[in-house]
Structure 1
């Protein structure tokens, strides 16, 4: 099984790139974040014409998540039960060939002293509760997407510059570690323990060209899936395209 995640930073802008990526890489599952379009504006027909199954939660201007699958999906769920009134579309889950797929676009938080950071704290607590319950029901589970957390200094191009800043604070890293403590494995670090392997580069300052990015997009596997892990890659070629997303796709192969 090949499963991938990509924050596309507007599906309207990147639809051709996503379609080409699907045709070239032929994943079993691709999850998308930051659709930035309303529910009824999702280009479902464009994917279905090519044989893909799609489930999505859209939101105008911001957020939005989708799962694109080669096989039909069942038990589709949106949102976090602990935050039933949250209007932000950030979580969608579905079962594909027995594997529970949870796609997340985690809260950015803006800055540690921002009200948005307090929301991020609440949101990650709700995510932890949700994943714990899902793991109890689905032994084969993958949690993946844009986490907006660089888990360790090795995931940051300049740890001193980023220390204590958003994405890299001790508190955020504790939230990420708490997810792993539920019984999840950071797929990339299982296969590639050394090196930075960034997945996001700021548009400003030619950061991609300079190789200065953060690893904030992750694939986390339950024990049953981690035992099948064969490879993980960050597709930097997608970030090098004209008018790219500021994120690169990340994919894992499970035997």
Structure 2
């Protein structure tokens, strides 16, 4: 089973890239973030023609998440239950016997800001809910743009900004792992300076000045089934790309 995550930074703009990528890679499930569209504008017909059903949770201009699947997704939940939030950042569904949680984690803007406080509150709420969700669904994958580079090797050595790499953010990431989740990418030897996001400015992609902030965490029940996890840089090389690249998880059937 192949599960992927991709922050497309506007599905309207990137839909041709997504359709081409689906045709080339044939994932069983693709988690998308930053749709930047309301639900009525979601391109369900175009995706259905490509062989994919979709569940989505969108809003105008900002945020928005979706899960595209080959088979009908089951038991769909939108948002974090019990956490009052106007921002559309979470969608969850069961796919092929696996609980897939797709998340667009808050950016946080700057350490100490109101947006950073929201990020930390959001992370705490997600972690508390996932503890119960894992008890109900031991076979679980948490996928998405976490906006956290969990270790020093996940950020370019010259990265100077504290956001995405702060001690508080990394502690929150570690708290997710403490639930019994595992960073699928780090289950394997990986090339040095492996990143999933590069700024549009200053030739960041060409210089490989990036961060690894897009992740797929697998539950303990799935860990031994992970065969591969990789970043696919190909779409980042296209004209008008997202600033993120897809990350792909391959699970043994």
> How does the TM-score come out when normalised to structure 2?
0.97
Tell me what 1:52 maps to: 52
Matched residue pairs, number?
252
**Which residue matches 2:207?**
210
Offset at residue 139 of structure 1 (A): 1.1
Q: Residue by residue, what CA displacement relative to the aligned partner does 1:180-211 show, whole Å, maximum 9, x if unpaired?
A: 00000000011135622100001010100001
Match of 1:115 in 2: 114
Within-5 A mapping of 1:94-113: 94-113=93-112
In the alignment, which residue of structure 2 is the partner of 1:6? Answer: 6
Residue number in structure 2 paired with 1:230: 227
Residue 94 of structure 1 aligns to a residue in which SS?
strand
Q: 1:39-70 deviations in whole A, cap 9, x for unaligned?
A: 10000000112221100011100000000001
In structure 2, list runs of 5 or more residues that go unmatched. Answer: none
RMSD across aligned positions (CA): 1.0
Structure 1: gaps spanning 5 or more residues: none
**1:244 equivalent in structure 2:** 241
- TM-superposition CA deviations, 1:91-148 (whole Å, max 9, x none): 0000001100000000000001210001001000001011111100011100010000
Q: Residues 146 and 216 of structure 1 are in contact (CA less than 8 Å); yes or no, is this contact kept in structure 2? A: yes
In 2, distance between residues paired with 1:16 and 1:31? 16
Moved over 3 A (4+): none
Give matches, 1:135-146, under 5 Å.
Answer: 135-146=134-145
Structure 2 residue aligned with 1:33? 33
Give the Cα–Cα distance (whole angstroms) in 2 for the partners of residues 131 and 9 of structure 1. 26
TM-score relative to the length of structure 1: 0.97
